[in-house]
Structure 1
Amino acid sequence: MKILFGIQGTGNGHISRARILAKYLKEHAVDVTYLISGREREKLFDMEVFGDFMHRKGLTFVTKNGKIDYISTFLENSLLGFYRDIHALSLSEYDLVITDFEPVTAWAGKLQGKPVLGIGHQYAFGENTPMAGESMMAKWIMRNFAPATNAIGLHWHPYSDNVLPPIIDTTLQATDDSNNIVVYLPFENQQQVSAVLNQLPQYQFVQYSPELENGEQGNISLRKTSYQAFKQDLAGAKAVICNSGFELISECLHLGKPILTKPLNGQMEQHSNALALEQLNYATVIDKITTTKVGDWLAIAKQNEAKPLPNVAKQIVEWLLKGDWQQHQQLGKGLWARETGAQ
């Protein structure tokens, strides 16, 4: 079997999931080529697991100070270039296209009549999934950005029969060996975040961002985003402050880390995630990063009960290689039944 696996490069969640799936795909006699879009190639890091991957510009969004900048997003994206990339991508040698909300591979598959399997958080947004910050345009984008013939959604609750638990590295274990608070707010102004944290000198923070260089600033250890270093700090963290993306919060729930989260303004997915977290009582949601809001939360934050996740990636790969990509109901039932225990 030959597979083309498209990965959306905006943010790190899609890439993190794909790394884990790639690990299990390598264990089988399957030929997988990866295509990544949505971020400049030179800004990608720790990509060895994907081998000689393809890269396209794709489509992305631009943020400024914790909000989507719609004008810059429009100027940054070239619809003509996107159209050309779709039509230049030949899928004749592939049996299946997998997309984690990556639009070039998804649309190429749709236009060339190839089966496209969507695997990702965005495919979990059905009629029963909590929604917030939605608009007609946002819903249209969610449906049409990366269309799939069949789709597996990932979420924190079985909102429909195509929704599975999150894909994370289930070998990740809490070490609780530091009093550091991990801060990952990549869509915020990093200088403003640091200024807020510096006003809470009784706490020690580790602030991660692709924009930062390693260094110390008072009670903050500044760190440039790194896959292995971040996982190590996360495992030992006392608490986590982050935007309302899916993958990191899933890891925090698995580890039992207290979560303070602020959704990216204007991004329906993150507002909807925040609503789901509030409904499930999994995290504290705030609308702005301020010293008062962060300090008040840290004063009462307590270790959560860990919610160990099953090895979803391994089960998906084994199911995938059977070739019956429409039959996912039993897969979902089995994984949700094991949500509290299996590896």
Structure 2
Amino acid sequence: MYVGRGPRRAVSGHERGLSLARVRYVVHGRGRGHATRARAVIAHLRDLGHQVAVAGGRDALPVLGEADGDDVEEAPSLTPDMGVFRTLGGVVTRVSAERLALTRDATEIVVSDGDMPSVLAARLMGCPSIAIGHGIVFSHGRPPAGISADLWRREARKARVASWGSTRQVAVNFVPVEAAKETVTVARPEVRSELRRSEPDGTVLAYFRDDNGEDVLRALVSAGERPLLFSDVPCAVDGVEVRPRDPRAFTAALSCARAVISSAGSQLISECVHLGVPQFALYDRSDAEQALNVEMLRAAGLGDGASFAEVVAADLEGFLQATDQGRPEPAPWDAPSAAQAVAQLIDSLLA
């Protein structure tokens, strides 16, 4: 981490004629998808010579810490369960802390993965910022044909908050979408380099972000499956093999899985699409983003899904039977990766 003293203004890499910058990268901390993507982008920026200071919320810290150790700052995230007054207080506290960090580190540009306070602080300080995330697909992109326009608008209103005030936006998606504004770059997801397509070994892998999949697991066991569940919470369903949420073990299991039954988060969907692993993705009916993810996954012919409240055993059985027909293949898509898009924007904004 780079820390300066006093009011002296540091000389930037661009002023020295070098293509490097001092970057503050802040990652939202609900779920691990933000941090998984961020690790790949951060590594790419550092490979290019940029100095990157990293901060993250609760679930992001252990993922980011695998690469940065103790140098990752904690940046408490705003979550939907906080309520209005706690959220407002959290915004004020975080923006104040972010402004101090920007001054301390003589930051030249902020990259925010789902973290609104860091974008707001950058705007107040006159510092350019890049908002990156899957939610930007909805707030700054046009819905593909056949996708629910009402759901899209609903999610756009929510997603717009996290990127409000950003200078540029990177919309990361697992299928092509059209940008709605000139400030937006649509990018392919970052997929971990450790992911290697392997011959399916028959495993039905299960992962539920909110540990709310017991009814689904019972249906799988009743269908004769022995699902492999990654969770840090004990499972009350007999016939389920449970392993802790270890990224390396999960990667190894995912690479050779016959199928994935999971929450409909975009990062795991992206990895399944990359590997060609059939996925049945589930969402809570109140979660418009994950419902839209399932619609896009199904429309592209790359998987299926349903809401937790409506899925029945026959849906899962039919899906698993169809996996015998081979792995789905995504259509070719000429777009930069998320890391490439962020690096290009840093160069253009600081040129």
Q: TM-score when scaled to structure 1?
A: 0.80
Identical amino acids, percent of aligned pairs = 22
The aligned residue for residue 282 of structure 1 is: 302
RMSD over aligned CA atoms reads 2.9
Query: 2: distance between equivalents of 1:263 and 1:112?
Result: 38
Query: Structure 1's 279 and 191: CA in aligned 2 closer, same or farther, altered over 3 A?
Result: closer
CA contact (8 A) 2:278 2:328 kept: no
1:176-222 C-alpha deviation (Å, 9 max, x unpaired): 2511111112235244343333322x223111224348xx9653211
> Aligned with 1:6: secondary structure?
strand
The aligned residue for residue 82 of structure 1 is: 91
**What are structure 1's unaligned runs of at least 5 residues?**
62-71, 328-343
The aligned residue for residue 34 of structure 1 is: 54
1:74 CA displacement: 2.3
> Aligned with 2:328: secondary structure?
coil
Query: What is the identity, as a one-letter code, of the residue corresponding to 1:154?
Result: V
CA contact (8 A) 2:111 2:132 kept: yes
The aligned residue for residue 243 of structure 1 is: 263
The aligned residue for residue 129 of structure 1 is: 143
The aligned residue for residue 104 of structure 1 is: 117
Matched, 1:144 2:161: yes
The aligned residue for residue 47 of structure 1 is: 65
CA contact (8 A) 2:154 2:288 kept: no
Query: What is the identity, as a one-letter code, of the residue corresponding to 1:278?
Result: R
> Aligned with 1:219: secondary structure?
coil
1:75 CA displacement: 7.9
> Aligned with 2:178: secondary structure?
coil
Please, which of 208, 223, 236 is the counterpart of residue 185 of structure 1? 208
Query: Structure 1's 224 and 46: CA in aligned 2 closer, same or farther, altered over 3 A?
Result: farther
Query: Structure 1's 163 and 46: CA in aligned 2 closer, same or farther, altered over 3 A?
Result: closer
Q: TM-score when scaled to structure 2?
A: 0.78
> Aligned with 1:286: secondary structure?
strand
The aligned residue for residue 207 of structure 1 is: 229
CA contact (8 A) 2:281 2:304 kept: yes
1:123 CA displacement: 1.6
Greater displacement, 129-138 / 117-126: 129-138
The aligned residue for residue 13 of structure 1 is: 33
1:326 CA displacement: 9.7
Query: Structure 1's 56 and 121: CA in aligned 2 closer, same or farther, altered over 3 A?
Result: same
Q: Number of residues paired by the alignment?
A: 311
Query: 1: distance between equivalents of 2:280 and 2:59?
Result: 30
Query: 2: distance between equivalents of 1:46 and 1:106?
Result: 20
Query: 2: distance between equivalents of 1:95 and 1:153?
Result: 22
1:32 CA displacement: 0.8
Greater displacement, 189-198 / 172-181: 189-198
Runs of 4 or more consecutive aligned structure 1 residues displaced over 3 Å after TM superposition: 43-46, 75-78, 130-139, 190-194, 216-219, 305-311
**What are structure 2's unaligned runs of at least 5 residues?**
1-20
1:14-44 C-alpha deviation (Å, 9 max, x unpaired): 111011112222323221111112x368x83
Query: 1: distance between equivalents of 2:314 and 2:162?
Result: 38
